[in-house]
């Protein structure tokens, strides 16, 4: 007689074993219809699963994150089913759920075409419309191997053969088709209504380049057509905002094969990059940081002592010199900062000591993972390390958190989520040290008044961390800043200070980055603002242009005047029509287009037009200069366009 506890605390008692589906039906017909799976004592199960003991149960619907995962998992099977109906010779391999969708790898004699994808998607819709019941059966491992070999599914047989012999194998299917899977799955194919196949790509069997190449079909699946449409719209918008496209249109940077994963910055892009550094340098100076610079190449032995070679070695670039010394390009700045700290005798009176560096680091990323500015091998970190006592951890962490959130607001990011990443499997230091570090970081987060979600096992190899995740204008999340508590590296590299008791003590080191990678943050900014950067960040803030060559002298005078005020201004004196010039600089997202005709020259004014196409009328040169300088100095809090509009409406 199982007693079932529901999420609201209510109890339901039955005099026999009962399925999850029947429990849902006993609650109400609406829930029975919406049920996709169940969660029994925290474990996700099919709606057909029988309950014969006292348990806690929640019914999973498409409103739950787990429900969407079940939909995507089941849609991957729907894809495999459709492929094998249309292409009987195709062999299925693996088909996991991924972010926003799923994929399935197939072995087939020829590449799948765009037309094939359309036909497969159509067949998936037909199978869905049949509302076939999804069934499950369990076989002993060896029997399952024999079954898949018999039907020519050699890849599946190989997967199953690697599973321990005493582990039962579950197969899920619909109609006459079935496949290896742990489940759970939706009750019937009719639950799968909102999906789309996205693309085909190559993938090596089991991810090993020595194995045969398979075809990977990617798809997306959602709870309903509205969510699917919203997702596809986000993808279209993301394509328009692609920082690589914007970078080319604005002539900011390029990448080329001779330096994979490294950026060639053009003058305008470098101006933007330097603006980010200047901004961060000022904020750090105001917060009591001292800027340092450490070597990019250091002896391998230093990285052995720090633990980087053991835990991070496969991501490091190393080289051997003619005298057989091995050196490494630094992948992180922390060991270098510890060397600076160790020079001379440090006192507790100096703590907290905050070292900051715009350090260029190098990390090996696989070629296939490189992606514009977002994933590179050489990048600049706005890195800092705070050496402090254990008693100072909370106060310093609160200051870092407040600084990071303030900085993100300046760049237009108000929606920030924070993750708590605890100890990874591959790490240095004892469990006792990790317990201490994690407790210190949790206390600091609580003192800062921030809510965190757990990101298990994703801490740095030397300490737990807070990860600051920005949500951009189209709803995508980007992990940027970090704060890490480290009791390990200062000990491993021999950092000490003289305490109040006149004895040596090991400092705690807080690792802190705010942009993270300046290259990546630049890419995020370009996509968040769709290339229309705030005026204070724009590489070119205004372009001065005349209608004819009679205004050239005045245009040059205006540009010089504005540059003398620290503004980034260009002139366009080409023998082109005004319409042509305006269109070109609008495409380049220049915030303000300043036009001079004979009337403007005579009145010492300028006709002001925004990149959004708004005509602000004529402004005197002195007034315009003051308004532009105010907007730049306020970092967009005093917007010239708004102030002109308000003045005229008044």
Position 649 pLDDT exceeds 80? no
| Residue 251 belongs to a domain | no
Q: Which of 43, 34, 99, 38 is nearest to 62 (CA)?
A: 34
Q: C-alpha angle 293/321/493, rounded to 5°?
A: 45
pLDDT at 643: 85
Domain limit, last residue, from 61, 78, 98: 61
Q: For residue 370, count other CB atoms closer than 10 A to its CB.
A: 15
What secondary structure letter does DSSP report for 549? Answer: G
Residues 369-392: what's their mean pLDDT? 95
Q: Are residues 522 and 571 in the same domain?
A: no
Position 194 pLDDT exceeds 70? yes
pLDDT at 585: 96
Lowest mean pLDDT among 156-160, 335-339, 624-628: 156-160
* Secondary structure (DSSP) of 109-174: SSPPPHHHHHHHHHHHHHHHHTTPBEEEEEE-HHHHHHHHHHTT-HHHHHHHHTS-TTS-EEEEEE
| Residue 615 belongs to a domain | yes
pLDDT at 164: 85
pLDDT at 214: 93
Number of domains in the chain: 4
Q: For residue 439, count other CB atoms closer than 10 A to its CB.
A: 12
pLDDT at 200: 94
What secondary structure letter does DSSP report for 347? Answer: B
Range of the domain at 521: 269-528
Mean confidence (pLDDT) of the chain: 93
Question: How many CA atoms does the CB half-sphere of 242 hold within 13 Å?
Answer: 10
Q: Are residues 57 and 79 in the same domain?
A: no
CA distances 484 to 167, 458, 461, 630, Å, are 41, 12, 10, 37
Handedness of CA 283, 289, 291, 292 (dihedral sign): negative
| Residue 395 belongs to a domain | yes
pLDDT at 554: 96
Q: Are residues 562 and 636 in the same domain?
A: yes
Q: Are residues 598 and 548 in the same domain?
A: yes
What secondary structure letter does DSSP report for 368? Answer: G
| Residue 365 belongs to a domain | yes
CA–CA gap between residue 190 and residue 206 (Å, rounded): 32
pLDDT at 537: 95
Q: Which own/partner pairs from 576-583 qualify as long-range (CB within 8 Å, at least 24 positions apart)?
A: 578/545, 578/547, 581/543, 581/545, 582/545, 582/609
Position 514 pLDDT exceeds 80? yes
Position 638 pLDDT exceeds 90? no
pTM value > 0.85: no
CA–CA gap between residue 633 and residue 628 (Å, rounded): 9
| Residue 325 belongs to a domain | yes
Position 366 pLDDT exceeds 90? no
First-to-last CA distance in the chain? 77
- For 315, phi and psi rounded to 5 degrees? -100, 5
Q: Which of 420, 531, 554 is nearest to 483 (CA)?
A: 420
Distance of CA 86 to the CA centre of its chain: 37
Q: Are residues 311 and 447 in the same domain?
A: yes
CA–CA gap between residue 487 and residue 491 (Å, rounded): 7
CA–CA gap between residue 281 and residue 273 (Å, rounded): 12
CA–CA gap between residue 539 and residue 533 (Å, rounded): 9
Q: Which of 77, 79, 66, 87 is nearest to 20 (CA)?
A: 66
Domain limit, last residue, from 483, 500, 528: 528
Position 245 pLDDT exceeds 70? yes
State the CATH number of the domain containing residue 202. 3.30.980.10
- Would you please indicate which residues are annotated as catalytic (active-site) residues? 334, 363, 381, 383, 385, 465, 511
State the CATH number of the domain containing residue 284. 3.30.930.10
Tokens 């305008």 identify what position?
Answer: 268
93 close to 105: Cβ distance less than 8 angstroms = yes
92 close to 104: Cβ distance less than 8 angstroms = yes
Q: For residue 635, count other CB atoms closer than 10 A to its CB.
A: 16
Lowest mean pLDDT among 202-206, 383-387, 524-528, 542-546: 202-206
462 close to 424: Cβ distance less than 8 angstroms = no
pLDDT at 162: 86
Q: Are residues 30 and 137 in the same domain?
A: no
Q: For residue 284, count other CB atoms closer than 10 A to its CB.
A: 21
| Residue 537 belongs to a domain | no
Position 486 pLDDT exceeds 80? yes
State the CATH number of the domain containing residue 593. 3.40.50.800
202: left (phi over 0), alpha (psi -120 to 50) or beta: beta
Taking only the tens place, the pLDDT of each residue in 66-122 is 999 999 999 999 999 999 999 999 999 988 999 899 999 999 999 999 999 999 999
Helix (H) or strand (E) segment spanning residue 509: strand 508-517
Position 215 pLDDT exceeds 70? yes
Q: Are residues 300 and 224 in the same domain?
A: no
pLDDT at 20: 94
Q: Are residues 10 and 132 in the same domain?
A: no
Taking only the tens place, the pLDDT of each residue in 307-361 is 999 999 999 999 999 988 999 999 999 999 999 999 999 999 999 999 999 999 9
CA–CA gap between residue 66 and residue 536 (Å, rounded): 44
**What residues have CB less than 8 Å from 560, skipping those under 6 apart?**
none
Taking only the tens place, the pLDDT of each residue in 591-611 is 999 999 999 999 999 999 999
421 close to 455: Cβ distance less than 8 angstroms = yes
Residue 353: strand pairing partners:
387
Q: Are residues 503 and 623 in the same domain?
A: no
Q: What percent of the chain has pLDDT over 70?
A: 100
Q: Are residues 388 and 442 in the same domain?
A: yes
Residues 373-395: what's their mean pLDDT? 95
Residues 2-30: what's their mean pLDDT? 92
CA–CA gap between residue 139 and residue 133 (Å, rounded): 20
Taking only the tens place, the pLDDT of each residue in 545-561 is 999 999 999 999 999 99
| Residue 521 belongs to a domain | yes
Q: Are residues 94 and 53 in the same domain?
A: no
Q: Are residues 170 and 194 in the same domain?
A: yes
The two tokens of residue 355 are 């070292």
59 close to 7: Cβ distance less than 8 angstroms = no
Distance of CA 34 to the CA centre of its chain: 32
Taking only the tens place, the pLDDT of each residue in 280-298 is 999 999 999 999 999 999 9
| Residue 535 belongs to a domain | no
Domain limit, last residue, from 46, 61, 76: 61
pLDDT at 650: 63
């Amino acid at each position: 007689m199982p007693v079932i506890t529901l999420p609201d605390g209510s109890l339901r008692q039955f005099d026999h074993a009962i399925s999850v589906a029947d429990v849902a039906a006993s609650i109400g017909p609406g829930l029975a219809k919406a049920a996709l799976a169940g969660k029994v004592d925290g474990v996700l199960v099919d709606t057909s699963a029988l309950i014969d003991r006292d348990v806690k149960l929640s019914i999973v619907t498409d409103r739950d994150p787990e429900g969407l995962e079940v939909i995507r998992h089941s849609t991957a099977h729907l894809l495999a089913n459709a492929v094998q109906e249309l292409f009987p010779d195709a062999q299925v391999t693996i088909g996991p759920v991924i972010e926003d969708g799923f994929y399935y790898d197939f072995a087939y004699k020829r590449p799948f075409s765009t037309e094939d994808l359309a036909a497969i998607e159509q067949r998936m819709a037909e199978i869905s419309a049949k509302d076939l019941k999804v069934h499950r059966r369990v076989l002993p491992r060896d029997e399952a191997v024999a079954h898949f070999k018999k039907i020519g599914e050699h890849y599946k047989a190989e997967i199953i053969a690697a599973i321990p012999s005493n582990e039962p194998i579950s197969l899920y299917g619909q109609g006459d088709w079935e496949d290896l899977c742990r489940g759970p799955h939706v009750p019937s194919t009719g639950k799968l209504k909102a999906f789309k196949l996205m693309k085909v790509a190559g993938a090596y069997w089991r991810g090993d380049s020595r194995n045969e190449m398979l075809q990977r079909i990617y798809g997306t699946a959602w709870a309903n057509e509205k969510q699917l449409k919203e997702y596809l719209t986000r993808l279209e918008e993301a394509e328009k905002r692609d920082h690589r496209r914007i970078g080319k249109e604005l002539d900011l940077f390029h990448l080329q094969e001779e330096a994979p994963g490294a950026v060639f910055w053009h003058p305008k892009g470098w101006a933007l990059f330097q603006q980010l550094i200047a901004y961060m340098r000022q904020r750090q100076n105001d917060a009591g940081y001292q800027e340092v610079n450490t070597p990019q190449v250091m002896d391998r032995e230093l990285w052995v002592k720090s633990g980087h070679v053991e835990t991070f070695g496969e991501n490091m670039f190393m080289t051997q010199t003619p005298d057989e010394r091995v050196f490494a390009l630094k992948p992180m700045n922390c060991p270098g900062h510890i060397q600076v700290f160790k020079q001379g005798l440090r006192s507790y009176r100096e703590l907290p000591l905050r070292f900051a560096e715009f350090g260029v680091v190098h990390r090996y990323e696989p070629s296939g993972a490189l992606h514009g500015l977002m994933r590179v091998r050489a990048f600049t970190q706005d890195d800092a390390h705070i050496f402090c006592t254990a008693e100072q951890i909370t106060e310093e962490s609160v200051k870092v958190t407040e600084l990071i959130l303030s900085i993100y607001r300046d760049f237009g990011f108000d929606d920030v989520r924070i993750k708590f990443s605890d100890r990874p499997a591959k790490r240095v230091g004892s469990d006792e040290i990790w317990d201490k570090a994690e407790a210190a970081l949790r206390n600091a987060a609580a003192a800062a008044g921030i809510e965190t979600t757990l990101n298990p096992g994703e801490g740095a190899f030397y300490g737990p961390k807070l990860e600051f995740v920005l949500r951009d204008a189209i709803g995508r999340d980007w992990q940027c800043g970090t704060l890490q508590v480290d009791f390990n590296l200062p000990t491993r590299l021999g950092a000490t200070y003289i305490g109040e008791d006149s004895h040596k003590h090991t400092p705690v080191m807080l690792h802190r980055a705010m942009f993270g990678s300046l290259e990546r943050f630049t890419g995020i900014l370009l996509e968040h603002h769709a290339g229309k950067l705030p005026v204070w960040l724009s590489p070119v803030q205004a372009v001065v242009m005349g209608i004819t060559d009679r205004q050239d002298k005045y245009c040059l005078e205006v540009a010089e005047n504005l540059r003398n005020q620290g503004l980034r201004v260009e002139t366009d004196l080409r023998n082109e029509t005004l319409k042509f010039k305006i269109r070109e600089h609008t495409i380049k997202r220049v915030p303000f287009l300043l036009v001079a005709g004979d009337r403007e020259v005579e009145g010492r004014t300028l006709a002001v037009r925004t990149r959004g196409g708004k005509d602000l009328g004529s402004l005197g040169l002195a007034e315009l200069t003051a308004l532009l300088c105010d907007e730049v100095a306020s970092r967009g809090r005093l917007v010239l366009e708004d102030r002109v509009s308000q003045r005229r409406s008044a």
